């Protein structure tokens, strides 16, 4: 079965610390990455009844994997499970469309219960010299504000939601704080923005338990420039891929560059809890 072959050889072996993956899928394929954002829990991931990720640890990101468009049933179990009959999350059905990039996230809801979400990555073209930033709130924490200096540039981002913006390539300083406050929970720090690349930053873990952390994913987006371009502070690559995990406060803070923003949009991931 093509799915089993791909999942065994591809997704199970491509973790966050791996080198960059191919940027483009075949025309008929979708791209799927998987993030484990549930603290203190090592899990197994099953796809269509097949063990896909064994002993998947918190903070790890796998993929992207090229898969034929279609619906895939995913269940997440404890690491010692012999099958997917007793999942801790799911089973959930992931509907993947051709030529579309997705990230499935196992995470905690606002109350701390395990759940899952499927996000669609915006890989549409950016203008020459610009990059795209998306922040996703998948932590057991209240709504947050994204700060540029002491000013909130994104307000009240809730668990399961995301905010996306395009801004000039370079380095931007930012921080994240509880909604309505200016005391950073993460950051501040300088974050690079790369031409023609989508950078996705995830806040995951639990505020109450002291396990808040950050994960970062990069995905190649279209752009009008034929090549990478040098900027004042960052040499922009021509190709993207999965970046190493940035367990630093500044990653989520990328949204501080909203001061330079040309577009902000806010939406929800598709949350599905255990059946």
**What are the counts of helices (DSSP H) followed by strands (DSSP E) for the chain?**
1, 18
pLDDT top residue among 115 and 265: 115
Does the pLDDT value for residue 224 go beyond 90?
no
Task: State residue 6 phi and psi, 5-degree precision.
Answer: -60, -45
Q: Kindly tell me the sign of the dihedral angle through the C-alpha atoms of 11, 251, 158, 211.
A: positive
Query: What percentage of the chain has pLDDT greater than the value 70?
Result: 70
Find how far residue 9's CA is from the centre of its chain. 22
Cβ-based neighbour number of residue 120 at 10 Å: 16
CA nearest to 197, candidates 162, 228, 155, 158: 228
Does the pLDDT value for residue 240 go beyond 90?
no
pLDDT top residue among 259 and 203: 203
For residue 121, the model assigns a pLDDT of: 97
Q: Kindly tell me the sign of the dihedral angle through the C-alpha atoms of 183, 187, 192, 198.
A: negative
Strand partners, 35: 61, 105
Average pLDDT over residues 45-62: 95
Does the pLDDT value for residue 176 go beyond 90?
no
Which residues touch 160 (CB under 8 Å, ≥6 apart)?
A: 109, 110, 117, 137, 138, 268, 269, 271
Strand locations in 85-209 (E):
89-96, 101-108, 114-121, 130-140, 144-148, 151-157, 161-168, 170-178, 184-193, 197-206
Average pLDDT over residues 217-242: 51
Average pLDDT over residues 173-194: 82
Cβ-based neighbour number of residue 155 at 10 Å: 13
Which residues touch 83 (CB under 8 Å, ≥6 apart)?
A: 46, 49, 77
């Amino acid at each position: 079965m093509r799915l089993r072959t791909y999942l065994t050889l591809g997704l199970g072996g491509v973790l966050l610390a791996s080198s960059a993956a191919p940027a483009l899928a075949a025309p008929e394929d979708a791209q799927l990455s998987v993030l484990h954002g549930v603290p203190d829990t090592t899990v197994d991931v099953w796809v269509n009844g097949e063990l896909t990720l064994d002993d998947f640890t918190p903070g790890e990101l796998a993929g992207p994997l090229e898969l034929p468009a279609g619906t895939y049933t995913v269940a997440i179990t404890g690491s010692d499970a012999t099958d997917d009959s007793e999942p801790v999350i799911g089973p959930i059905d992931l509907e993947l469309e051709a030529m579309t990039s997705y990230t499935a996230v196992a995470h905690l809801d606002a109350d701390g219960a395990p759940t899952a979400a499927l996000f669609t990555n915006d890989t549409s073209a950016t203008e020459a010299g610009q990059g795209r930033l998306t922040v996703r709130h998948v932590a057991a924490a209240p709504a947050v504000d994204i700060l540029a200096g002491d000013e909130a540039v994104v307000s009240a981002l809730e668990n399961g939601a995301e905010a996306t913006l395009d801004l000039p390539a370079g380095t931007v300083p930012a921080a994240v704080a509880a909604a309505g406050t200016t005391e950073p929970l993460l950051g501040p720090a300088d974050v690079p923005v790369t031409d023609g690349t989508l950078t996705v930053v995830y806040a995951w873990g639990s505020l109450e338990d002291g396990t808040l952390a950050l994960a970062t994913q990069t995905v190649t987006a279209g752009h009008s420039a034929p090549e990478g371009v040098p900027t004042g502070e960052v040499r922009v690559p021509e190709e993207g891929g999965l970046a190493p995990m940035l367990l630093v406060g500044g990653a989520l803070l990328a949204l501080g560059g909203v001061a330079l923003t040309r577009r902000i949009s806010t939406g929800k991931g598709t949350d599905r809890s255990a059946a």
